[in-house]
A and B are shown apart, each in its own frame.
Chain A
């Protein structure tokens, strides 16, 4: 509540109190005054009613009458000459009694205080006392003294008259005063009454006016309350009103429905015990306490919050709650609007589950594809191997043509499997571009040459139109470029019969120095329907309408092309008209390599396989077919093969017998090839330094690096071609026999592991890499310079330590063959085998010049 409005109610309250008490005070004072007056008047009236005394004036005047009567009696007695004086005496007694009343009666007290009255009364009494002597004298004497008695009475009569007049005068005076006083009292009473009545009238007027105002206000409040009540009652959301002690004050119908409590059950109860789940109560109570203490709400006024609530049945359910704070006659209250969101949450969860399931299904599908494709390569390996063995055997011409068909079919199948694997890799974001330098013109010519046979098969003419081509070599991922170009051309050839497929290529240089290659594959084939054009790059999209019987494909080719081109930073587009033909255009940026390096000619070199004859080879392979094929290949070339089925068996056998080479499958039960290799390398035995060649279906570069790191000398991808296998073995055997020259001079690629070096190239600036190579060159040159002296000294530990240092450097830079030569020397030195050390030292010395020149060549190409 803002400060400004906070003071208003207090002020109002104060005013209210003043307004309430002042009139009440006035009325009370009026009533008290009136009561006092009433009391005073009543007393006066009582005084009046009680008659302050006898009729005073009567008594006063009666004195004179009594005198006259006595005088009359005396005169009568004198004239009649009667002897009876009892009447005279009686009249005198009457007079005397009357006079003593004036003297004694309290009612004459006021008059007696008057000096005149008092002296007159004294005079009268004195006269009466004097007269009494005559009256009390014997009858005769009294009779004789009647005349003086009458004379005396004449004087007394004067006195009595005077005293009556004085008394009456005094009496009327005091009467006047009394009347005036009473009149004043009555007047005051009347005035006070009038004032009180007037004030009561005013108060009544105010009250009536207030009543009307209040009535109007209360009408408005009643109407507002009715509106609120109906809002409260018909609200679809549960509304729970509670005070700061957490006691429920109101509970609407929706709340009854949501929580299952009747309003009568809920109101007056502790909210936390009714509708808050037990595990949340402590937090709720703490929150209330904190709020009551700090007055800083955490939940109040924070909009919608999702929490858990409790039903009467004990069921917990999710609610969306919004809490407001207000003040009324009950103090601070909290108004909570709650919405049961059980269904919504359930729906959300269903939706989430459905999405997760869909994603899982999608992932399962792609995993399935990847695994299936992967698994297909093993049997394919078997097929290729068998076909190769078959080709080597004595078969007739017809059989050979069947064999060709089988080989081509196998190639297609392998192609599809590779496509799927490519897609899987792309999805797993494991695909990386590996750039190398090549000649673009040569590249396109090769593509055309290799597809000519296919073109001929459907009577198609294959044309190459090269426009401006870069002068030197370009730096691109040749393999992926070849994949894209092959795909497009074979696609074009597939959908064209008796037509022409043209490969047109051009390169441009824009003002920023950016080189762009644009090439199109244009056919005169069936074309693609407009509505299909948008989908041709989608995966598994096959064009039902234009597919002829001969065309086949999984619909992945173009999708892979698009993704590869995207990876290269380029774009692929198409133009097509049904019946006229289709044109796919690829635009990719590229860089040139300054040094025009012609790739090594892929030419069949007659290899002397003689060194392999009679060599003992350990074949570690769990798959029976693969084992058979490799076994057959090795046997056909005169080698002796020992077979084991897993890594553990290999480790065991390697302890007993020395092998020229170990062919180690990677994925095997019991113990895999990587673990087995590590154990063999780390265990002293005849094969600790043996050549270990990994066999794997894992085609990923980082996997290869892992295998090499485990101690394998090289890794061969399945399916294994016989030539590749023999080459690798020849290298291994010749390395062992110091007859490596022919193979080692085969080219830089053999000496430097492309994977490792490419990685370095990607990681480091060319200058840094050049420096690294130069440092390595210097390190080895220095190392080798000391070797003869150390051998001469027979200082094997130093030799081993020196070798060990450089093994790491060699591994890092990727000269694995040189590295294994170093490792051989290190092991020999460690074993303190001087003879072996000498042999290995020769090997290292012999290996270095080729490695060095290959590294220098690499360094040179880096510019």
Chain B
């Protein structure tokens, strides 16, 4: 799968060819900041705190959209999730760490090793979903962002660990070495 990784990385490089390679300054989000990434990053968002990358819905939507439908253990019935690959998000931020700490607004925190973001049966899982059944998710529900896996696709996505990593009300990511 390393070949695919390389391919994806290359694709990412090609897509953001115009972007600076190191310590590039990313444009500041125009809308409400939904996600703040900090830690070992090679980019930072202009106007944001030093060493942080912030993303609003618009920026998220500018990344490659991922859509899948799956059932969950939290909500009755099948749900169509729309979002971006977590890997793409980290690539956007130029994250270099081996692990990320995903943190929810309720301070729930979970570690996700970056090597688990590739090699699954779904190349793009997990995703950072911003739409549930085509609508934004409210903060009083699971929103605004929710890391979800295509649970129905594979038994490997129906484990306690995966469930614990399915963090909702995501608003921060810290990359660590």
Chain A residues within 8 Å of B, Cβ to Cβ:
46, 49-55, 62, 66, 69, 90-94, 96-98, 100-101, 104-107
Contacts and interface: CB of A to CB of B under 8 A. Distances in A.
B74 interface: yes
A105 B73 contact: yes
Contacts of A105: 73-75
A100 B155 contact: no
25 contacts: A46-B155, A49-B158, A49-B159, A50-B155, A51-B158, A52-B73, A53-B163, A54-B163, A55-B163, A55-B164, A66-B106, A90-B105, A91-B106, A93-B105, A93-B169, A94-B105, A97-B169, A100-B141, A101-B74, A104-B76, A105-B73, A106-B73, A106-B74, A106-B75, A106-B76
A94 B160 CA distance: 22
B141 A55 contact: no
B109 interface: no
Nearest to B104: A94
Given A54-B73, A104-B74, A97 B160 contact: no
Interface residues of B, number: 22
Chain B interface mostly helix, strand, loop or mixed? Answer: loop
B156 to A, nearest CB: 10
A130 to B, nearest CB: 15
Given A54-B163, A55-B160, A66-B106, A97 B74 contact: no
B155 A49 contact: yes
A66 B108 CA distance: 11
Contacts of B9: none
B168 interface: yes
A94 B169 contact: yes
Contacts of A100: 140-141
Interface in B102-156: 104-108, 138-142, 155
Contacts of B74: 54, 101, 104-107
Contacts of A97: 106, 139-142, 168-169
B163 to A, nearest CB: 5
A62 B105 CA distance: 13
A51 B105 contact: no
A80 to B, nearest CB: 20
A104 B75 contact: yes
Q: Which of B74, B104, B107, B108 has the most chain A CB within a 10 Å cutoff? A: B74
A100 B141 CA distance: 7
A65 B88 CA distance: 33
Which of B106, B107, B155 has most A Cβ within 10 Å? B106
A107 B73 contact: yes
Contacts of A53: 73, 163
Contacts of A46: 155
Nearest to A46: B155
B91 to A, nearest CB: 28
Nearest to A128: B140
Nearest to A96: B140
Contacts of B139: 90, 93, 97
A97 B142 CA distance: 6
Contacts of B163: 51, 53-55
B140 A93 contact: yes
Nearest to B166: A54
A593 to B, nearest CB: 146
A425 B114 CA distance: 144
**Nearest 8 A/B pairs, CB to CB:** A94-B106, A51-B160, A50-B158, A93-B139, A105-B74, A96-B140, A53-B73, A93-B140
Contacts of A50: 155, 158-159
A50 B156 CA distance: 8
Contacts of B158: 49-51
A106 B151 CA distance: 14
A513 B70 CA distance: 148
Nearest to B171: A90
A104 B75 CA distance: 5
A98 B160 contact: no
Contacts of A66: 106
A98 B160 CA distance: 18
Nearest to B162: A51
B103 to A, nearest CB: 12
Given A90-B105, A90-B139, A97-B139, A54 B164 contact: yes
B106 A98 contact: yes
Nearest to A59: B74
A104 B160 CA distance: 19
Given A97-B106, A97-B139, A98-B106, 11 more contacts: A50-B155, A51-B158, A52-B73, A53-B73, A54-B74, A90-B105, A93-B138, A94-B106, A97-B169, A106-B74, A106-B75
Nearest to A109: B76
Nearest to B141: A97
